[in-house]
Structure 1
Amino acid sequence: MAVVTAAIEAVELYRFYRAGDEETLALRGVSIRVFAGELVAVVGPSGSGKSTLLACLAGLDEPDGGQVRVGDVRLSHRPERERAALRARRIGMLFQSENLLPHLTVAGNVDLVQHLAGRVDRPLRDRLLRELGLADRAGVAASRLSGGETARAGLAVALAADPAVVLADEPTGELDDTTELRVLELLRERADTGVAVLVVSHSPAVAAVAERRIELVDGRVRGD
């Protein structure tokens, strides 16, 4: 039987921080796998290691032990320049805020991400904006968008380079219930096309639409 490679995988991740004589263990041997077509929610109390895990998965932070793989390529323990290039090509990042540069237009924000990924694809950009209901807002500065439009434009940026993996950090934390459900529907639709989606969130609505829920407690996986 053929072995299916995870779209993104963490293997025995350890991460600790020192402040003077104090040492904080943020991750204690965390292993997870997310496959193409899955929408997985990572939940847990504040301070459980969720944001640290996401930063390591994205290559924004380096684990002190273990490794992260994106497909068949190791992401961790490489120079920052190599991690950034791999992230730009294969991983879409969706944050609660700060996905957009306010002085650029919606289309300009998407173009910038594609440029960084080395993939300028105007048909893809235009299709994303149509699918997200933003075609008529393409030329509008990000600073002039409504809250719901900003959330959808942030998702367009996360998907701009047609990534294999989308990592989302509390993407619906500041949204009203209606907009939250719409963003989750869009993430679910993207997973249905074969993208691996991992969402860190406290929202019950996120956990409700996910196939799997991974619970972190004190830097360890307590349930999957």
Structure 2
Amino acid sequence: MTLETGTPAAAGVTSEPGVLLQAEELYRFYRSGEEETRALRGVTFHASAGEVVAVCGPSGSGKSTLLACLAGLDDPDGGTVRVDGHRISHRPEAERAALRARLVGVLLQSGNLVEHLTVAANVDLAQRLAGRRDPRRRDSLLDSLGLSGRAGAWPSGLSGGEAARAGLAVALANRPALLLADEPTGELDQHTEAPVLRLIRHQADERTAVVIASHSPAVRRLADRVVELKDGRTA
């Protein structure tokens, strides 16, 4: 297991070839009145091109907070995150959003699709946010995910498996260097979970770094590495 606490030098994060994601000494605290929650406590983490890393641990261990910081959706109180050599942490939100649109695909358990847009229009929106317009990429992606016949469907009309695959299409719209997935199959049964995970594995085989936060045994089996979190630290 290569997720460690301690100094970046000791963790060896920057010395490995092919590393696309580098996170060093991440801390994240939340305060509500007199209460303080220490969600991340000095987490150092990396993921390489073509690698699937599963982040596992009990509820409240910091998995979702870690993924949010890695994606630039949240900013750590301490530490840095770099994706493909670009620092995404400790920048204005507009800069983080631009880097995320270009470099990072984010697949959420729910909420990955804009309800008032069709499946195809959701992919188009993701491309426009990155300053791109590539209908061929969109159509090819939907075809590879078995969604060509559902391109004009509204999210509310999709089955659970279709919604998961449509969310994956949005996450992969701009050929991201890094794919982050937070419980992507949490609402799926085993029958619909398996093809989604095969598609994620295929994306890793295309040299994308993949990080999945999940409780699923199937995700553990899929992963090249499993990292355990407990109370915001590596277990």
| Structure 1 residues 56 and 201, CA gap change in structure 2 (3 angstroms) | same
Q: Does residue 185 of structure 2 align to residue 172 of structure 1?
A: yes
1:1-224 to structure 2, matched below 5 A, reads: 4-222=17-235
Shift of 1:206: 0.4
Deviates more, 1:61-70 or 1:143-152: 143-152
**Paired position in structure 1 for 2:3:** none
- 1:36-80 CA deviation, whole Å, 9 max, x = no partner? 100110000111111110110011111111110011111100000
User: Which sections of structure 2, spanning at least 5 residues, go unmatched?
Assistant: 1-14
Identity of aligned residues (%): 65
Shift of 1:5: 4.8
Shift of 1:91: 0.4
Name the SS of the counterpart of 1:7 in structure 2.
strand
- 1:84-124 CA deviation, whole Å, 9 max, x = no partner? 00000000010111111122111111000000011111111
Deviates more, 1:2-11 or 1:136-145: 2-11
Counterpart amino acid of 1:10?
A
Counterpart amino acid of 1:197?
V
List 4+ stretches of structure 1 deviating above 4 A.
Answer: none
Name the SS of the counterpart of 1:124 in structure 2.
helix
Quote the Cα distance in structure 2 between the aligned partners of 1:4 and 1:134.
36
Counterpart amino acid of 1:16?
F
Quote the Cα distance in structure 1 between the aligned partners of 2:24 and 2:16.
17
Quote the Cα distance in structure 2 between the aligned partners of 1:140 and 1:15.
39
Quote the Cα distance in structure 2 between the aligned partners of 1:181 and 1:21.
44
Shift of 1:142: 2.0
Quote the Cα distance in structure 2 between the aligned partners of 1:100 and 1:173.
16
Kept after mapping to 1: 8 A contact 2:104/2:178: yes
Quote the Cα distance in structure 2 between the aligned partners of 1:148 and 1:28.
35
Report the TM-score, using the length of structure 2 for normalisation: 0.92
Counterpart amino acid of 1:83?
R
Counterpart amino acid of 1:220?
R
Kept after mapping to 1: 8 A contact 2:18/2:49: no
User: Which sections of structure 1, spanning at least 5 residues, go unmatched?
Assistant: none
Quote the Cα distance in structure 2 between the aligned partners of 1:13 and 1:70.
14
Quote the Cα distance in structure 2 between the aligned partners of 1:218 and 1:31.
15
Kept after mapping to 2: 8 A contact 1:8/1:33: yes
Kept after mapping to 1: 8 A contact 2:39/2:65: yes
- 1:139-162 CA deviation, whole Å, 9 max, x = no partner? 222221111111111110110111
Counterpart amino acid of 1:64?
D
Counterpart amino acid of 2:88?
L
Shift of 1:167: 0.3
Report the TM-score, using the length of structure 1 for normalisation: 0.96
